[in-house]
Structure 1
Amino acid sequence: MAADALPDLPIRAVLPDVTAALAEAGAAVLVAPPGTGKTTVVPLVLAAEGTRVVVAEPRRVAARAAARRMAALLGEKVGARVGYTVRGDRRVSASTRIEVVTTGVLVRRLHRDPELAGTAVVVLDECHERHLDSDLALAFLIEVRAALRPDLHLLATSATAEAQRLATILGDAPVVTAAAALHPVDVRWCPPPQPVDAPHGLRVDPRLLSHVAATVRRALDEGDGDVLVFLPGAREIATVAGILHGIDAEIVPLHGRQTGTAQDAALRPGTSRRVVLATAVAESSLTVPGVRAVVDAGMSRVPRMDHARGLGALVTVPVSRAAATQRSGRAGREAPGRVYRCWSQAQHDRLPAQPEPEVAAADLTGFALDLALWGHPDGDGLALPDAPPPGALRSAMGTLRTLGATGADGRVTARGRRLADAGLHPRLARALLDAAPLVGARRAAEIVALLDADRTADDLVAAWRRARSERDPAWTTEVRRLKAALDRQEGPTADEAMGLTDDLAAGLVVGLAHPERVARAREAGSRAYLMAGGTAGELHGGSTLAGTTWLAVADADRAPGARTARIRSAAPLDEATARIAAATLAATAAEIGWVNGDVVARRVERLGAIVLAERRIEDPDPDLVRAALHEGLRREGLGLLTWSRAATELRSRLAFAHATLGEPWPDVSEAALAEADWLDLGPARRRADLARIDVAGALRRLLPWSVAGRLDEVAPERLTVPSGSAVRVDYSDPAVPVLAVKLQETFGWQDTPRVAGVPVVLHLLSPAGRPLAVTSDLASFWANAYPGVRAEMRGRYPRHPWPEDPATATPTRRTNRRGP
């Protein structure tokens, strides 16, 4: 297209810089705000010399819209010089020079043809959105340019200012910046009049949706043109549409679950005023014609993965400031506009600057399969914008090995390539391929299409029947695609190979996709379940599935801090079908361990964490029994043993020796004894047997031979006091030995006695055994404190001696019969 025939958009001013940068460096970054024409004008210029250009968009609706707009500028229909390819829909011809694809399609194409034969330029649009496929496509193309096609030009475009980081990833590529859009947008802050709850999981406070509807009415009243409303998902779109029913405007939904035809219709000018209720699909790369106002609910739906429990789900989060800017730009594409933000400016300032990249929190199983297909199983050596979290990647690689998609070395297998060819998440691809011979190809395709489109409801079978009766076009199209994929790989399959009912067929397909989510009720009629992966789950109170013994859980989430997951969607199973679905988790093994406070020896048949059957082992392995008893001591502590006075005192003496002298005197603390192999368990087989063990003897065996004979010297059990009595030493505090003795028995002791060089703390007692004084400096006590004690006590105990000079007096255990 000639330059003077291009739309008069800001991008025209930098087109020479773009072509020059690509010609000189081979790669470049184009930063252009929404509405500047970067998506549709730039490819037309790059293809002007007859070269073939591939434009990659993160969303299907954007890919079709961009192709349609470029074709219109050429005065042609889509499929001539401009075409598109998205999953399940392709319009190209021999004359196509510009092909718009999704980034997912581009990644699949790179796997098949890394050189991209015949393609001269690849444009990666909206790189700032940071989807997994976008990151992979960028990394793969950088490696292709370095190793296979140095002549392949690569242009990465972004609507945000993080261009320098992108340029660095591209090898210090030049950055070209276009001016802002032509039309100003007036920002109006419209927080709800009353507090609303923050979003949780998929739940959005109905009060916020009511406020969004009220703001839409305000936007209609305050200006002309159509209103574009951003909401997090199809459910919220339906709710707001219901609230707005009867307004003087056409209500048009726009979201990813619609057919391409329905999405395209939303992007055509209306014959009357419209309110377009859209998800994030309308954020970028397309123009919704006629829009003069945007109402932004301020939320987005993003994938999150709970790797510890194997629960992946979409969650609702606040938008980033960058996304809010993208959305507001929709109002100024054709004329001055207005944006109504349903939050305050103070809240806006606290929003994250950029959206979190998917790689940081999403399920990485498909991502890991793409890395394996590319020959980089761990991602090392690839120019990924952000490295995947190591734990999440390990979890994903483990899932791929379980599915048979990769070998022990991480390399992709032939089965892994078949799973990838299905164009699905690897778990769903596994369910499709493995269920088709069991339930029939069509039923497998129908259920998988339902799961892939996230059209599940509490009762998955009921949702399946609704989809069949309503013959939803998007679902029907995907079913045909999946059925064709099966026919290509497997050939025709029987309709009902196992003769299963629809209920069990649905449960089997779900279970094959998520074997760790096969679940059994904890008790008859319960809403509480245990999943094979070990996660506890619960149906909501009104679930039609309550009372079902076995379930295959299609969707579940868990609130932060909650111990139990909420089962959002499931299908019924019976035990026989559950065993088939979760066969990879089936195991029968002898289990000898400490369970619920005692040794249990049993042979258990399990489906993951679910116990199917068990029987007692009459003659368990003694070594395993001893290990179980030791585990019980570690878990529940040494209180399982019988601690006689002799054992307790011996442990205290050993503790004092260790604290005072260190090694080789043994550490007898709770932690050390719990870990040490010091007990002779002998014939012990259960908890009760632990109480009969000779603990004192076991403690003595801890003493090395080099010090065993010195215990009475280092930590004597008793000390002989001046009266001749042998008084027991209290070592209960390892740092402070204590001797409790009647004061009259210590007469003549001028210095404080010592044990292993440590002064003994004397608890001096009255003739009645009550404490009179505590001292570790006996000489000081005699000189300073004793006169006061003598003055007070001699009247109370007149038959006991209270000499003026106790240091030289005769000690005694008896009374003084002659009185004072």
Structure 2
Amino acid sequence: MRTVGLDLPVRTAVPALHAALADRGCAVLSAPPGTGKTTLVPLALAGLVDGLAGPARRVLVAEPRRLAVRAAARRMAWLLGEPVGERVGFTVRGERRACAATVIEVVTTGVLLQRLQRDQELPGVDVVVLDECHERHLDADTALAFLLDVRAALRPELELVCASATSDTGAWSELLGGAPVVAAEGVSHPVEVVWAPPPRAVRPPQGTRTDPALLDHVAATVRRALAERDGDVLCFLPGVGEIARVADRLRVDAEVLQLHGQAPQAVQDAALSAGERRRVILATSVAESSLTVPGVRVVVDAGLAREPRTDHARGLAGLVTVRASLAAARQRAGRAGREAPGTVYRCWAEVEDARAARFPTPEIALADLTSFALQAACWGDPNARTLALPDAPPAGAMAAARGVLTALGAVDRDGRATERGHRIARTGLHPRLARALLDAAGTVGPRAAADLVALLSEEPPRAMGDDLHAILTALRARPDDPYARRWRAESGRLRAQLQGRGGPAAGGADGARPRPDVPPPAGSAPTAGHAALVVALAHPERIARARGPQGPYLMASGTAAELAPDSRLGGTEWLAIAVADRPAGSPSARVQRAVALDEATARRAAAPLLTSREEVEWSTRGGDVVARRVDALGAIELAADRLDAPAPALLRSALLDGLAREGVTALLGWPPAAASLRERLAFLHRVLGAPWPDVADDALLLAADDWLEPELSRARRRADLQRIDTAGALQRLLPWASGQAGRLDELAPERITVPSGSRIRVDYTGDRPVLAVKLQELFGWQAAPALAGGRVPLTVHLLSPAGRPAAVTGDLAGFWREGYKAVRAELRGRYPRHPWPEDPTTAEPTRRTNARR
């Protein structure tokens, strides 16, 4: 039987790898891109490489992407001179090509997780190679933690290799209990760096939007690279949309290929094989590692990447465009030097590297953790506290995930997986989609349920629009469309799951695949109502109702949502939203995929969100209490009736809300006696502090329990608040317990008796208390009393006989000496009937005029 003789750089590291596995059972392999770690190492571990003696093992290789799985399996099978499916096979979700003779099987990390959940011992596997572990995909991190548990408790003889294309291997070695690090030296072809920033400033990415000016510049840089350098050009862009837009901008004498995870198999094969013409390969991050793209001598790097983001409060998850890390930029540049010296054109200024992250952010820190939390629960560690993960999951994200799983019935109150949870996990779907598949099948039928859930799990191209039912109808009429073929394959896998004969990765537990290309029987096409039910079951919190004839919409989660202006769903009252995101800085979500819904289906699919509640609120529009009984689906109001006898606690809360919104001063009644008492208390609090109370609006609101009861408990509306005896209520705030309340009139008297016998009200509204009194009533008074225990002197406003201020003083004796003469000279001619003695200090104070002569 044929073996392989390869002279790749990683070959020199294989003996050390064999020794590490023999000694410790695990190892970390550091091998730069292009050294052969993805192809030669599995072949060597299986004993299929000439001159690299070692035990013949059955090897399972886990890759983070389906594209890499197929490419690696095809490459190894080609080296052996065999078709895929014999000694080298592969399994991805929905497709398995392997047989009893297979000794190397390449799988996605998701498939590996499914196998571990089904049988933790991985029978028939001698060694697992986790490739590209440096990329920090969540499934890979989880699989590593599970495998470490298996080695510790069940199969210590199971060998484990963590393979990384970067040199930061210390953390991986520590995680594997001090495993040996085996390093392979790559062939270091020099790569020239050409800094090619845009000629003018471009806007930073927002959400998944990339400035068209940057895409224009990337296209121009590709054309420049073709003119200045030889060889194929590999251009890195963040997503499928950017790839399509740059392809539209290119007008070049070269074959242009679009390489991404959803690309047709023919395109993937063409990109991964040497071409006869010069090529431009526009690729996402799938081409950073794992795959060799032959013929590439030039890399053009847009400098952007996509990362997951989850808005747990709104229940929205998606991808955002970010600046690529320095490690990713090095990986991309290395693609130009795999086979010969090359060049990388970086579409940013060199100085921007100072602000870039060194490594990609681990997916566990960013992603929706619902699937991970279910995996951990099914593994027996609901909180993931004992799993040997490179990074712990964020507590908030785990709490949100457990909330979703509890609502789905996938975990119990303690977080342990239920039987339903295990069944959901076995589908290989996100738990929300699995719930929709299982619960809808009995209503719409297994085929319709599988068709619709497959559509939700295999996201269709954006060009197909946002109406899911219209997309489904179009797909059924396109039997040869690449996406339609993938959709039918996934639908077949899900039907097999529902019929109890589906394995976690392929159509059947014995490796037999379902027949996805068998046309559905007549009359079995899912209706729009079926689509609405399935989407609503998957995402009940995204059921939305229009707020007006043309929207916008309010989702059950409480988030606003808007359709695109050209949406075919415009004017629909109810929507079941499958995919939505919230652009940066936008208050509303943007609907990307949805289907028309009716209220009856909404109520059925989201029954746990239905509530009937008493709603008692302060209406800012009406300025009063509004009490209603409201039937709602989450945040969506379905019906409302007047509530005549609201609960006292809700009523009190609404009144307090009104006081907070409008202010205690504005909403309560303040007759003169109440206003005066409040001003005196405010003065004493300002000057003396405790125990004199703060009577500002905010303080009075906080102390409502202390001074507004029981009046507040009896109030039902605005008018009741305005009738409260605020003067009597404020008395409750006086410092009775300390005995200081009795000194109120001494420290801050409401009125002061002046020499004429009049009792004059003190004005406490300003910074200092003011006594405004006619000048003649103060004759003989040398000083006004100081208030607050002598701390604050009175300011005296001396009034003319007409009541207008004639002088202001805080030193009455000084006024009599120096100011009085001028006032007397000015006013006695104007007011001759009033006394104007030469010596006011000895004159008789009076409120009267002189007697007529």
TM over 0.5: yes
Q: Pick from 682, 687, 695: which aligns with 2:718?
A: 687
**Structure 2 residue 184 is matched with structure 1 residue 178:** yes
**Structure 2 residue 782 is matched with structure 1 residue 749:** yes
| Preserved CA contact (<8 Å) 2:257 2:267 | no
Structure-1 separation of matches of 2:427 and 2:594: 23
Structure-2 separation of matches of 1:382 and 1:749: 86
| Preserved CA contact (<8 Å) 2:582 2:589 | yes
Structure-2 separation of matches of 1:795 and 1:568: 87
Q: Pick from 805, 827, 838: which aligns with 1:797?
A: 827
Q: Pick from 282, 292, 295: which aligns with 2:297?
A: 292
Structure-2 separation of matches of 1:806 and 1:373: 98
Structure-2 separation of matches of 1:71 and 1:316: 36
> Aligned with 1:478: secondary structure?
helix
Structure-2 separation of matches of 1:360 and 1:805: 87
| Preserved CA contact (<8 Å) 2:550 2:571 | yes
Structure-1 separation of matches of 2:158 and 2:806: 96
In structure 2, what is the equivalent of residue 34 of structure 1? 33
Structure-1 separation of matches of 2:803 and 2:182: 94
Q: Pick from 314, 326, 329: which aligns with 1:324?
A: 329
Structure-2 separation of matches of 1:480 and 1:28: 39
In structure 1, what is the equivalent of residue 626 of structure 2? 600
The Cα shift of 1:770 comes to 5.1
Provide TM-score, normalisation by structure 1: 0.91
**Structure 2 residue 149 is matched with structure 1 residue 147:** no
In structure 1, what is the equivalent of residue 50 of structure 2? none
Structure-2 separation of matches of 1:95 and 1:703: 92
Structure-2 separation of matches of 1:739 and 1:14: 98
Matched letter for residue 480 of structure 1: G
In structure 1, what is the equivalent of residue 101 of structure 2? 95
Alignment of 1:288-367 (within 5 A): 288-367=293-372
Structure 1 residues 13 and 79: CA distance shift in structure 2, 3 A:
same
**Structure 2 residue 76 is matched with structure 1 residue 64:** no
Structure-1 separation of matches of 2:475 and 2:759: 91
In structure 2, what is the equivalent of residue 416 of structure 1? 421
Structure-2 separation of matches of 1:692 and 1:373: 62
Structure-1 separation of matches of 2:435 and 2:667: 50
| Preserved CA contact (<8 Å) 2:110 2:139 | yes
| Preserved CA contact (<8 Å) 2:688 2:788 | no
Which sits farther off after the overlay, 641-650 or 455-464? Answer: 455-464
**Structure 2 residue 573 is matched with structure 1 residue 528:** no
**Structure 2 residue 368 is matched with structure 1 residue 368:** no
Q: Pick from 564, 568, 571: which aligns with 1:547?
A: 571
Structure 1 residues 726 and 234: CA distance shift in structure 2, 3 A:
same
Q: Pick from 459, 464, 475: which aligns with 2:487?
A: 475
The Cα shift of 1:6 comes to 4.7
Which sits farther off after the overlay, 406-415 or 799-808? Answer: 799-808
Structure 1 residues 496 and 506: CA distance shift in structure 2, 3 A:
farther
In structure 2, what is the equivalent of residue 484 of structure 1? 496
Unaligned runs of 5+ in 1: none
> Aligned with 1:401: secondary structure?
helix
Unaligned runs of 5+ in 2: 48-54, 503-507, 509-513, 515-519
The Cα shift of 1:532 comes to 1.0
The Cα shift of 1:786 comes to 6.0
In structure 2, what is the equivalent of residue 397 of structure 1? 402
In structure 1, what is the equivalent of residue 18 of structure 2? 19
Which sits farther off after the overlay, 129-138 or 669-678? Answer: 669-678
The Cα shift of 1:398 comes to 0.7
Structure-1 separation of matches of 2:121 and 2:72: 25
Q: Pick from 777, 792, 795: which aligns with 1:759?
A: 792
Q: Deviations over 1:670-691 (max 9, x none)?
A: 2232232232136532223322
Structure 1 residues 489 and 520: CA distance shift in structure 2, 3 A:
farther
Structure-1 separation of matches of 2:149 and 2:42: 23
The Cα shift of 1:520 comes to 0.8
Structure-2 separation of matches of 1:298 and 1:100: 30
Which sits farther off after the overlay, 302-311 or 75-84? Answer: 75-84
Provide TM-score, normalisation by structure 2: 0.88
> Aligned with 1:470: secondary structure?
coil
> Aligned with 1:560: secondary structure?
coil
Q: Pick from 667, 670, 674: which aligns with 1:647?
A: 674
> Aligned with 2:128: secondary structure?
strand
The Cα shift of 1:817 comes to 8.5
Structure-2 separation of matches of 1:28 and 1:812: 107
**Structure 2 residue 759 is matched with structure 1 residue 726:** yes
In structure 2, what is the equivalent of residue 515 of structure 1? 540
Q: Pick from 254, 259, 262: which aligns with 2:259?
A: 254
In structure 2, what is the equivalent of residue 43 of structure 1? 42
Structure 1 residues 673 and 750: CA distance shift in structure 2, 3 A:
closer
> Aligned with 1:406: secondary structure?
coil
> Aligned with 2:500: secondary structure?
helix
The Cα shift of 1:340 comes to 1.9
RMSD of aligned residue pairs (Cα, Å): 3.1
In structure 1, what is the equivalent of residue 644 of structure 2? 618
The Cα shift of 1:303 comes to 1.6
> Aligned with 1:394: secondary structure?
helix
Structure 1 residues 465 and 298: CA distance shift in structure 2, 3 A:
farther
Structure 1 residues 19 and 808: CA distance shift in structure 2, 3 A:
farther
The Cα shift of 1:370 comes to 1.3
| Preserved CA contact (<8 Å) 2:207 2:584 | no
Which sits farther off after the overlay, 798-807 or 184-193? Answer: 798-807
The Cα shift of 1:769 comes to 4.8
| Preserved CA contact (<8 Å) 1:761 1:774 | no
The Cα shift of 1:412 comes to 1.0
Structure-2 separation of matches of 1:99 and 1:775: 99
Matched letter for residue 569 of structure 1: R
The Cα shift of 1:743 comes to 5.3
The Cα shift of 1:285 comes to 0.8
Which sits farther off after the overlay, 396-405 or 194-203? Answer: 194-203
Structure 1 residues 575 and 513: CA distance shift in structure 2, 3 A:
same
**Structure 2 residue 729 is matched with structure 1 residue 698:** yes
The Cα shift of 1:661 comes to 5.3
Q: Deviations over 1:232-268 (max 9, x none)?
A: 22222222333336x3322222211235565344322
Identity %: 59
Matched letter for residue 297 of structure 1: A
| Preserved CA contact (<8 Å) 1:63 1:86 | yes
In structure 1, what is the equivalent of residue 701 of structure 2? 674
In structure 1, what is the equivalent of residue 771 of structure 2? 739
Structure-1 separation of matches of 2:542 and 2:645: 35
In structure 2, what is the equivalent of residue 716 of structure 1? 749
Structure-2 separation of matches of 1:791 and 1:2: 127
Which sits farther off after the overlay, 435-444 or 407-416? Answer: 435-444
Matched letter for residue 646 of structure 1: A
| Preserved CA contact (<8 Å) 2:748 2:787 | no
> Aligned with 1:252: secondary structure?
strand
Structure-1 separation of matches of 2:351 and 2:841: 80
| Preserved CA contact (<8 Å) 2:747 2:787 | no
**Structure 2 residue 227 is matched with structure 1 residue 221:** yes
Q: How many residues align?
A: 809
Structure-2 separation of matches of 1:43 and 1:267: 20
| Preserved CA contact (<8 Å) 1:438 1:498 | no
Structure-1 separation of matches of 2:523 and 2:558: 29
Structure-2 separation of matches of 1:407 and 1:2: 53
